[in-house]
Amino acid sequence: MKKILKALSTFIQGQEESFKRHNAQYEAPGKFEQDRDAGYKNIQEDRINWPDFGIRDLLAKHPNVKTAVDIGSGTGWVAASVHSLGLNVIALEPSAAAIDISKRAYPAESYPNITWHQGFAEELLPTLRLTEPAIFITGCVLSHLRDKEVEKICRAICAVAPAGSVLAFSECWSEKKPWHQRMWHIRSKAWWQSQFPEWTLTFGGTKHDQGDYYMGIWGEKSAGNFSKE
């Protein structure tokens, strides 16, 4: 019964629900100090290279990638970490409060090559004009969103990513049947691969304790010439 109710709960999730819920948290008193300190700790612990992310390792294999697109950048620690690896970072985040925290925690004087953009990824990504291979990063963003939005985001990544681009998603995937509940969506490998027809995806990462799923998806867009749909 509980399972059925959870599955049904997915139908009441609205388009902007993840943004609204996170934004309310970012606007709460004390959130700046809390997320700044948590972000600094993540950076110190090299959290971008934990098994669900593996960003440093991926970039070491792709030294020609000099731009990062951090999709759903939250309060900015991933963008700051990747900036410290020498990349230019385009951070996309719908919450103005989160961007405000990011800019205060990682000021432009120390992080000159991060640009913070407020808006939904599905609207901002198609406006990017990238001329060199880039890394597309999401950290627990797409697993909160409905298929409709994730499909748009994946299509936009495919359209704007130059050949030779890579992706590192700390997002859920499962060997078994996909399952969905409100704000938590586990998609199958086949589903993810169908979103990235020109990319070779690799699945790995960390197995989640409560559930038969993992977090960690990587991809490389072939350097070949493909015609876009």
Please give the residue ranges that form the binding site for ligand SAM (CB under 6 A).
18-19, 22, 71-74, 78, 92-95, 98, 120-122, 139-141, 144-145, 149
CA distance linking residue 3 with residue 13, whole number of Å = 16
Q: Kindly give, in sequence order, each residue whose CB lies less than 8 Å from that of residue 212, ignoring residues fewer than 6 positions away.
A: 174, 175, 176
Q: Kindly give, in sequence order, each residue whose CB lies less than 8 Å from that of residue 227, ignoring residues fewer than 6 positions away.
A: none
Which residue's CB comes closest to ligand SAM? Answer: 74
The minimum distance between CB 62 and ligand SAM, in angstroms, equals 21
CA distance linking residue 189 with residue 187, whole number of Å = 7
The minimum distance between CB 88 and ligand SAM, in angstroms, equals 18
CB nearer ligand SAM, residue 113 or residue 118: 118
Amino acid at 215: M
CB nearer ligand SAM, residue 40 or residue 164: 40
CB nearer ligand SAM, residue 64 or residue 127: 127
The minimum distance between CB 207 and ligand SAM, in angstroms, equals 19
CA distance linking residue 135 with residue 165, whole number of Å = 6
